[in-house]
Structure formats: C-alpha cells, structure tokens
A = this chain, B = another copy of it.
C-alpha cells in the first residue's frame, strides 16, 4: 500500500518573527513511517517543524521513506493536495493548529509601553475532513484526536462522525511529546479497541496492521 502520514506541529505566523505552535514532537508519525516502511509499504511522511535530532530523521530516509516538510497549516494543505490522490491511506497524526491569526503583519509588531495586544484568531482549514471528503472508494483516512482524559471517547466519536473519517486514534493530552501512548481505536464501522499502554514504536506496528484491515 501507499501510505501518506502527517506529523508534528504547525507554525501559524503572527508576524515576520512570531508564530503560534504546539508541543507535538512528531514522534508518533516518525515511528509509524518506520513501521510501515519496514513491512514493505511505500511511505510518504509530511513532517512539520520538529527537533530533527529527537525524532531520528536520517534513519527514516535510509529506510526509504519519502520526506516532505511543512511549516504552516496552509503549507500542509498544499502538500496534501499534491500527494493524497497517489496514496491509499492517509494517517493524520500532525497536530494541525485549530486557530491562526486572522491578520499576519509584515515585519514585526512593535511594543509600546505597557502595551497589550488583542490577537484575533480564526479557524484553520479542517484538513482531515477535507481529505476525507475527496477520498475515493479505495482510499481510507485515519485521524488522531488529542483530548482531555475526561470525555475522551465521546469527543473522539464526535470527531470520527463529523469529519467522516474511517478510523480515529484517540489519546489523552498527556501523550503529546511523550514516548509512550495509551490509545483508543475507533472505526466508522463500530470497532472499538484498547491495545493498552505501550511505546509509540510498538503502537506504530499495531496501527500498521490495522491500516491493512481497514
């Protein structure tokens, strides 16, 4: 199969130097790209601004994974539009910002004495929903949901339905940046599995198997 994986955070510019981002490390996506390449899938990884040393990027290209980098949700949107039609499965592990500044200042916003700043944020395009909407019958979309432990399952089910994806991996907030995960796997056909607490590497292998069964 040809698997398209996204990972890491986005950076949404406020001005020429400032941006809004999040604590996603990209580790889950890199582990998944490794696992999928190891069992013979063709893998494209779209990766945001992460610490290259921490996630082991050189290994990844050695393993034959095609790597493309993005910075903002708008960059990622462009890459998805280019790559999605040539793949069978999309796994959206990227922590795409929900909000971005409505107005991006050229140059640098200057600070007056005791100044405050009201930043108007608007929604970013819902990329996973957009990709699910244009998918062909032979394509599958898997989303990730990072939510507070309370109501994790209800929120994930809501996301699964609203975004019309084939499956969702739900995690509690504490997982972000961590090396291990305790995921909940929900599919549109009603499957519900709790593989338990495990390393992201072990979960990557588990998830690769699931992708084939979707």
Contact = CB atoms under 8 A, between A and B. Distances in A.
Contact of A148 (B21, B107, B123): B107
A114 B108 contact: no
Interface stretch (A11-19, A29-37, A72-80, A195-203): A11-19
A94 to B, nearest CB: 13
Contacts of A176: 17
Contacts of A111: 98-99, 123
A52 interface: yes
A114 B126 CA distance: 10
A157 interface: no
Copies in the complex: 2
Given A51-B51, A116-B120, A148-B108, A18 B20 contact: yes
Contacts of A23: 17-19
A201 B122 CA distance: 41
Contacts of A21: 18-19, 21
B116 A119 contact: no
A115 interface: yes
B121 A118 contact: yes
Interface in A75-118: 95, 97-99, 102, 107-109, 111, 114-118
Contacts of A117: 99, 120-121
A53 interface: yes
Contacts of A115: 123
A118 B116 contact: no
19 contacts: A16-B173, A18-B21, A18-B23, A18-B97, A19-B22, A20-B20, A21-B21, A51-B51, A52-B54, A99-B116, A102-B116, A107-B173, A108-B146, A114-B123, A116-B120, A116-B123, A117-B120, A117-B121, A119-B120
Q: Nearest 9 CB-CB pairs, A to B?
A: A53-B53, A119-B119, A117-B121, A98-B111, A17-B22, A18-B22, A107-B148, A116-B122, A17-B23
